[in-house]
Structure 1
Amino acid sequence: MLQREILDYYLRGGERDRLSAGTGRLEFLRTWDVLVRSLPPAPAVVLDVGGATGVYAKSLAEAGYRVTVVDPVPEHVAAAGSLDGVEAVLGDARALPAADASADVVLLFGPLYHLQERVDRVTAWRDAARVVRPGGLVVAATISRFASLFDGFVKGFFRDPAFRPIVEQDLAQGRHENPGGVPRWFTSAYFHRPDETVGEVAEAGLSLRRLVSVESPLWMSGAALDGFLQEPALLLEMLREVEEEPSLLGASSHVLTVAVR
């Protein structure tokens, strides 16, 4: 189901602690903030596709939702399935192990940026549309086309001459690939322009509700970000004010697409 390179990346722990500090913590807090304002009330049924070790599933289960994680990495499934109130099964976003109209919400927080071909991404959207009930939500995360460019300057990756060709391909084609198939930074992925998901949603037969900037440009604020995250209430309140501002979407590391069947 997964390319060997991608599987190896996650087996090395690529997702284990990513959302617990720094820009990952900002991503989690903002994504959760969008979810609690968008999802139907518990105990709605949520299918967390590509849910990895269950970071969001754990919070959803604690809030009273009935959550099933679907992930292609066996170790992720084992970790998520060990959480209280969370079921977890092995599966592929393009052929979900779930019945038609069996979920109130489908989350696609990982699959779309590991499906480099548009036909595969639209297939994942379509299967999410099949599984979600009429009127239900599909919420998907994508990585910005410009994320590697900004990340390279923020974290000093451009000091390595091998990084620039990767970024140039990201910008030109959206296809993030590592020379020789060995990731030195992030693994193989597809980086979206914000408006690309609009077409994917429409082709899958879903209706777009909104596009949301997750981190905004604040993910590039370096050491200052840690201070903002110590008491994030003001940060979250202010970012809600600009989360749908079109001019800021591409400057966010991640964008959430909220669609409805």
Structure 2
Amino acid sequence: MTLLEKYYNKFNEDHRLSTRHGLVEFKTSLFYIEQAIDEIKKAINKQNNEIKILDDGAGTGKYSIELHNKGYDVTAVELVKRNLDVLRNKHLNIKTWQGDARNLSFLEDNSFDITLIFGPLYHLHSEEDKLKVFSEATRITKNNGIIL
């Protein structure tokens, strides 16, 4: 078990984005996500259910669920099994994978319009690890897609 997994097995990630500070983070991030979605819609003329979003490092699914409820095709990847179980219990219709953002070999190249990598960038500290995350995000995001 990694240090991160040990931490999140004790920490209530679901509560974090419900606090006043967490809500500011969530609403601000969602504003920028929605701007990116609008850019994709304009560029390639897609409907909500045709826009594929990967929430990489999804935690307990706050962003995944919000975006899924708006009609987007959302896939969530999360390293910590406990967080993934919470997400799965909240929303059965979101595609979920347990995985590491540095190795998304189970996902196909050029398959997402938008890739969110908020979680991994919060927790990875080495330049090498961050570059692996960016490399994987670039690989799985469509050529005209957006990485946030």
TM bin, normalised by shorter chain, reads: 0.7 to 0.9
Percentage identity across aligned positions?
31
Q: CA deviation at 1:45?
A: 0.6
| SS, match of residue 13 in structure 2 | coil
Instruction: Work out which of the residue numbers 70, 73, 78 in structure 2 matches 1:66.
Output: 73
The within-5 A match list for 1:73-222 is: 73-82=80-89, 83-96=91-104, 97-139=106-148
**2:13 and 2:83 in contact (8 A); partners too:** no
Give me the whole-angstrom Cα distance separating, in 2, the residues matched to 1:47 and 1:86.
11
Aligned mates of 2:76, 2:35 — CA distance in 1? 21
1:55 aligns with 2:76: no
Maintained 8 Å contact 1:66/1:85: no
* Misfit runs of 4+, over 3 Å: none
| Structure 1 residue identity aligned to 2:2 | Q
RMSD (CA atoms): 1.4
Query: Tell me, which stretches of 5 or more residues in structure 2 are unaligned?
Result: 42-47
Is the contact between residue 104 and residue 133 of structure 1 (CA under 8 Å) also seen in structure 2?
yes
Task: Work out which structure has the larger RCO, using CA pairs closer than 8 Å and 6 or more positions apart in sequence.
Answer: 2
CA distance in 1, matches of 2:97, 2:78: 7
Question: Per the alignment, in what secondary structure is the counterpart of residue 14 of structure 2?
Answer: coil
Normalised to the residue count of structure 1, the TM-score between the two structures is 0.50
Find the counterpart in structure 2 of residue 9 from structure 1.
7
Look up the match of 2:45: none
Query: Which aligned pairs between 1:28-47 and structure 2 lie closer than 5 A?
Result: 28-39=26-37, 40-41=40-41, 42-43=48-49, 44-47=51-54
CA displacement 1:27-80 (0-9 Å, x = unmatched): 111111111122134121111000011000000001111111101111122222
Deviation of 1:84 after TM superposition, in Å, equals: 4.6
Aligned pair partner of 1:27 in 20, 25, 36 = 25
CA deviations 1:1-43 (Å, max 9, x no partner) are: x732x21221113412111121111111111111112213412
Question: For residues 18 and 125 of structure 2, what CA distance do their matches in structure 1 show?
Answer: 27
Does structure 2 conserve the Cα–Cα contact (< 8 Å) formed by 1:101 and 1:132? yes
5+ long unaligned stretches in structure 1: 140-261
Q: Name the CA distance, whole Å, in 2 between partners of 1:79 and 1:67.
A: 16
| Offset of residue 120 of structure 1 | 0.9
